[in-house]
Copies of this chain bind each other. A is one copy, B any other.
């Protein structure tokens, strides 16, 4: 195993043109950015012990600590934190020697991929809600500004979507993206792909969050779609170039989708769909969660109904329902179903279209007092729903 031993200068060189100009001006930040990238290589996504260490010491210092420089100074092997750290070192150290960290950067540079780290102007602050589970950095293919677009909505769902689900995903994404809402999704087949495509067609911003390196289009069938996303939006990942999209990374990727979006909407999902994992992350982050209902006879909607039942997701049926989720639209005024259960209705019931009736007759039929009936008949006449003739009142049928 070849251990990493880098000077600040070597780190700066390695970074090359990758780190955004604003951060390169500052040597300290450049070194930190290199270390953040290294952490994205040696710790699996969502590793809270790594996150805690980096937050406590800084990325560079935490990396040096892993290299063993100061183990004795910092590690209290008797405490519970010390035990977690020891387990962490056992996870991270085997990777320090295998992946040649310096090779990550040239690979990224060749593919035109940028590195964003916390503190960069374009770093999406919403990721900080993940606490120690926040990513160390983001590898961005495309336009980093897209990550700053607000409001943003995650539209996710089953790969095995139905025509209904894809239709709804497209309707929602096109409408929202058309009004400037950024559409975040996972670039998978089915719902994800429909959402990205509709956002692009609407000329709106869209972000694809990948489980593997952004230089490895996944699924490969969406290679062209990812090219198009990168042209005007962004494809991002927290794992470095070349990293494989493992099942674990897919599940952790879902927390990034939830954290990057102001609200998450699941369009179709089977009973055990990975989209429910994204929904769970949104709920855990306290972000609004919506689910699109579908036929109870459709297995592709079972997960959405489960979200409505078990996760208190909001039932969303229109793009405006989604806007309500993130507060861009106030809920429509509640209108009860019995708005017409009034004396008005009782009088209309008592009127005949053909036979003219006296107010007294109408009062008896409606079960109301004659005085009330006469007052209301005058109003109903004004509305054009009744007419008075020499023999009494008749109902007027609207044309």
Contacts and interface: CB of A to CB of B under 8 A. Distances in A.
A302 B317 contact: yes
Given A305-B317, A348-B247, A360-B94, A295 B164 contact: yes
A151 interface: no
Interface in A299-342: 301-303, 305, 308-310, 314-315, 317-318, 321, 331, 334, 336-338, 340-341
A222 interface: no
B273 A337 contact: yes
A136 to B, nearest CB: 13
A47 interface: yes
Interface stretch (A20-28, A52-60, A362-370): A362-370
Secondary structure of the A side of the interface? helix
Interface string A241-265: 0000011110110000000000000
A198 to B, nearest CB: 16
A280 B349 contact: no
Contacts of A314: 309
B280 A367 contact: no
B367 A91 contact: yes
Interface string A279-308: 110000000000011111100011101001
A315 B309 contact: yes
A168 interface: yes
A290 to B, nearest CB: 10
Given A247-B349, A317-B302, A317-B305, A367 B47 contact: yes
A332 to B, nearest CB: 8
Contact of A370 (B90, B297, B321): B90
Interface string A40-76: 0011100100000000000000000000000000000
B315 A293 contact: yes
A337 B272 contact: yes
A310 to B, nearest CB: 5
A309 B316 CA distance: 8
Contacts of A321: 309
A168 B308 contact: no
B95 A372 contact: no
A334 B310 CA distance: 7
A69 B157 CA distance: 72
A36 B126 CA distance: 66
Contact of A279 (B251, B274, B337): B337
24 contacts: A44-B366, A44-B367, A87-B369, A90-B363, A90-B371, A95-B367, A164-B295, A246-B349, A246-B350, A248-B341, A248-B345, A251-B341, A277-B338, A280-B336, A280-B337, A292-B296, A294-B296, A295-B295, A303-B337, A308-B308, A308-B315, A309-B314, A309-B317, A310-B331
Pairs of residues from A and B, 5 with the lowest C-beta to C-beta distance, nearest first = A276-B337, A90-B369, A293-B293, A246-B349, A44-B367
Interface of A: 42-44, 47, 87, 90-92, 94-95, 98, 164, 167-168, 246-249, 251-252, 272-277, 279-280, 292-297, 301-303, 305, 308-310, 314-315, 317-318, 321, 331, 334, 336-338, 340-341, 345-346, 348-350, 360, 363-364, 366-372
